[in-house]
Amino acid sequence: MSSAHWILFGGATLIAMMLGGTLVTRLPLSGAMIYLGIGVLLGPAVGKVFAPDPLRFAPVLELVAEAALLISLFSVGLKLEVPLLDRRWLAPLRLAFVSMAITVALIAAIGVLLLDLPLGAAILLGGILAPTDPVLASGIQPEAGARPDLVRFNLAGEGGLNDGSAFPVVVLGLGLMGGHDAGTVLAHWLAMDLAWSLLGGIAIGAAASFLIGSAVVFLRNRHDEALGMNEFLSLGIVAICFGLAELCHASGFLAVFAAGIALQRVYRRRDIADLWPWKRRSTLPERETSAAMKQDIQGFNEQIEKLAEPVLVILTGAMLAYVTVFPSLWWFTAVSLVVVRPLAVLLGMAGSTMPVRHHAMVGWFGIRGIGSVYYLMYALNHGLSGALAERFVAFTLVAITASILLHGVTAGPLMAWYTRGEMRRGA
């Protein structure tokens, strides 16, 4: 296809998304399911419009998935208005770290015992498939406000956190596959790839975003400067937080997620003015200025997110043509979605005050998506090759596809059932 064909196709896709947006909300399908079908139709299996072979174009696909993941994480962080020290964060933290670790352990055990994978490869497979996606199922996305529904909040918080917390697992799997001394790999992994990567990423992203946001609010209120261009501010914060974290060998994904949470806390602070000794000059109240900034940034990010999601899902649908089918592919996909995820949530949240109905909802909606695509491409670019690479491509893409279909079909009915139950209990 020539550049003119690609531009025409891109424009037609955008217009079709706009015209069909309202219709999609009335269908018993999610947008991701439709985008997946478009990808299959346009991919090598049917229309042959483009051929995104994951083994050939892994570097480009990694960059595309990374960009989409950063946009999604920042956007989700902006929606989570629960204070950082609130006890409601305990559940997402347990899901993102404890339940995710159990997920990795279960998948690794299946890989070693039933799939005949080496230990490093089995851990890598667990790291690729463990992250959940806070975006793909529109029916369970979090609501704005300080009192969100707990199931939606837990799923969004988990998805934002475990997209970053999966990185140390992927690095560990690749390290063990590389034939390095296990003691050296584990010592470095514990100190740098695990402890510093997670804690440093959160600290760097939260601090940088809060300082930048506070400075912008100060300039707008005290000097009527730095007005407008909130879109540039949004992209700049994402780039700075990600870049700083990566340069410091911390998790850029966690930094961007923490940046979104920290930035929306800036607009909620009433005492930013007290941090500065100079006289206020702006005629706008501090809270009004910060709220307008946050609203513009969140709206802009949601629009970019709506563009990033279909691009990745369409690519996923097209990449299905490169899946090599083998018997263990089907039962492994079913076990990972229907057994491993609910069991990991049950074990990871054992002893918590989360009601049983919440356990069931969170256990079912462990949606695989952009994070798994990114980590698959990362692995392909960092040593995963040959027949093992083909198996990992199949495991990952089929798991994502099955997740999009199963969770897309069940999100509406299950969330309606759950909402009715919550209303009856609240009455």
Domain extent at residue 89: 52-426
Question: What is the reported pTM?
Answer: 0.88
Blockwise average pLDDT, block size 10, the chain, 427 residues = 64 69 65 87 86 92 92 88 83 94 96 95 96 72 70 89 91 81 67 89 94 83 68 89 94 93 73 46 52 69 78 91 94 95 94 84 88 95 92 96 90 81 66
When divided into structural domains, the chain yields a total of 1
Residue 391 near residue 324 (C-beta atoms within 8 A) = yes
| 7 located within any domain | no
Q: Is residue 22 part of a domain?
A: no
* Residue 31 forms part of a structural domain: no
- The CATH code of the domain that includes 378 is 1.20.1530.20
pLDDT at 225: 65
Q: Is residue 274 part of a domain?
A: yes
pLDDT at position 354? 81
CA triplet 63, 196, 235: central angle to 5 degrees? 40
Domain presence at residue 246: yes
13 assigned to some structural domain: no
In-domain check, residue 30: no
Identity of residue 153? F
Residue 355 within any structural domain of the chain: yes
